Amino acid sequence: MSSIDNLFGNVDSKNVESNVNDIFNQKSNAVDTVSIKTKLRTILPSIKKKRKNTGEEKEKDQKKEDDKEDSRGEEPVPKKQKKKDGEGDDDLEGKYFAKIMDDDKKDKDNENASDSDEKATKTKHAEKAKKVDLKEDELEKAERTVFVGNVTNEVITSKDKFKSFKKLFSTDPNPKEDEEDQDEEEIKNKKKLYVIESVRFRSISFKEALPRKVAFAQQKLHDSREAVNAYIVYKEKDSVRPLLKKLNATVFENRHLRVDSVIHPAPHDKQRSIFVGNLDFEEDEESLWKHFGNCGEIEYVRIIRDSITNMGKGFAYVQFYELQSVNKALLLNGKPMISVNATKNKKGRKLRVTRCKNMRKEKNASDARHSKGKNFDKLNESQRTKMGRAGRVLGKADKATLGKQLTIEGLRATKGEKVSHLKRKKQRSKSGRVTKRSIAYKKAQNETSEK
């Protein structure tokens, strides 16, 4: 205000505009208009600032005070001061070496932890790598599999016969008469129950000595062997039992089918079965079904065959559902049987019919353990039961690897582990000719080097 007082005298800040107008309205020859304007240009900004302090800045001050009250609870953050060169650098080397030591300790701890983890993973891999093969997948598949014997070989050569054969085993064996009353969901569930996953044909005789896959693809089947066996795998295991009761001994293409479960086959009862001898090596099962069919209801007929050539060994077993039919079958002892494959001029062979007897030798406990393998004693009860079922159900190829330790591919052997399948080299004998020659050669070489 000192500059305004010097120029204009004592002037109130509120009535500045009125005072300025009074100044310009005064007619004074001593005052120059140009100098007044220049002075006003310098004075007006300071006047505007004062106005702001009186009006607008009061609101800002109030806001600042409110913000300060809110931030009173918070501690003020001290500003970082820049260090000058040379300040606080007295112990730089000590701090540096301490940091290096801490890093080394952390690295060692990480290495020890990684080594322990690797050892744990190696032990886990070793446990996984060495597992006793109990054929659990094959057993689960066997529960869904049905054996069908005495099937005509035209199922392999003819597509229509194969479709009709597949249709027979994919339909409900117990259809209800009132299908209209059933719900659509029940019908769909029954259709899903008898869905076939795969069909395999076995016990096939071929004409030429070719690989089995090639002979099967070219369909070079033997003329004298008209029957084959089939294995039908279903998607669900609940579909096996109802099929066994209804489809066993059914006639398909003039042949009686033998339908049995793979995992739970029909037990051999010697009181309800007979032994039939003096059979032709090329005899067919169907001739036995027809010959003993009048004695009673037959459960199954089994001709014992060679596993490689599929030729018969000259004897068979016939099992009935009732005991009384065995006595009727014994009356046919010594009587000729008309074969299905026999020509008109060929006479039938006289059969030898007797009751079945147990001809198996009893094994010792040590022999039984030796046949089951070395790892049998290490197994628990559930594993032993699985091993016993697998040995009774599965074939020769699966039995050969049953109960043995399998090494999973992709896992390396650990140090000190003995590998059984690798042949070790024989150590050279100390008194042999080769060792003597090598010792003499080394001595001569040493003597020359010393000279």
Would you mind telling me the total number of residues written for the chain in this entry?
451
**DSSP β-bridge partners for residue 337:** 349
- Chain-wide mean pLDDT for the chain? 75
Residue 406 structure tokens: 């399998």
Cβ-Cβ contacts under 8 Å for 277 (sequence gap 6 or more): 314, 315, 351, 352, 353, 354
| CA 314/CA 278 separation, integer angstroms | 6
| CA 195/CA 362 separation, integer angstroms | 43
For residue 177, which amino acid is it? E
Please check whether residue 329 is in contact with residue 320, taking contact to mean a CB–CB distance below 8 angstroms.
yes
CB atoms within 10 A of CB 172: 15
**DSSP β-bridge partners for residue 152:** 227
Given the structure tokens 């690797």, which residue do they identify? Answer: 118
Look at residue 354 and give its three-state secondary structure.
Answer: strand
Task: For residue range 261-291, list pLDDT tens digits in order.
Answer: 998 888 889 999 999 999 999 899 999 999 9
| CA 378/CA 380 separation, integer angstroms | 7
pTM of the model: 0.57
Task: For residue range 21-64, list pLDDT tens digits in order.
Answer: 555 554 444 445 556 556 556 666 666 666 555 555 556 666 66
Please check whether residue 284 is in contact with residue 312, taking contact to mean a CB–CB distance below 8 angstroms.
no
Most trustworthy range by pLDDT among 108-117, 159-168, 200-209, 406-415: 159-168
Please check whether residue 317 is in contact with residue 287, taking contact to mean a CB–CB distance below 8 angstroms.
no
Q: Which residue has the higher pLDDT, 430 or 62?
A: 430
Which residue, among 105, 230, 236, has the nearest Cα to 168 in the 3D structure?
230
| CA 358/CA 96 separation, integer angstroms | 90
Average pLDDT on 372-378 reads 64
Provide the H-helix boundaries in 131-198.
136-143, 154-157, 159-170, 184-193
Q: Which backbone phi and psi does 275 adopt, to 5 degrees?
A: -105, 130
For residue 180, which amino acid is it? E
